[in-house]
Amino acid sequence: MFQVILSQKARKAFKKLPEHYRRRIIELLQFFRENPVPAEYYDIKKLKGYRDTYRARIGDLRVIYEIVWNQRSVHVLVIKPRESAYS
């Protein structure tokens, strides 16, 4: 079981989202508890140039997160629209 930790930035962005996106992100975060790379259910890609950092695509939103394997935790760094998620 993995612990899911949202950064302050991600938490703030989550609160501003419409309800339908919030439900889908909560579902994704629940998947992270069991499997931090649920590629069979979501569009997950590893980010180039980073170690253990991934992005999940939910519609137009991107959830960028980092996995700390030895602590068994998932750190959600950013929840943003695609246009501004990678800058």
Q: Which CATH number covers residue 58?
A: 3.30.2310.20
Q: What is the distance between the alpha carbons of residues 57 and 16, in angstroms, rounded to a whole number?
A: 18
**What pTM did the predictor assign?**
0.92
Mean pLDDT of all residues belonging to the chain: 94
Is pLDDT above 90 for 62? yes
The pair of structure tokens assigned to 10 is 């991600």
> Hunting for tokens 């980092």 — which residue is that?
66
Do residues 76 and 63 lie in contact, with contact meaning Cβ atoms separated by under 8 Å?
yes
Is pLDDT above 90 for 72? yes
Instruction: State the average pLDDT over residues 25-52.
Output: 93
72: domain range? Answer: 3-85
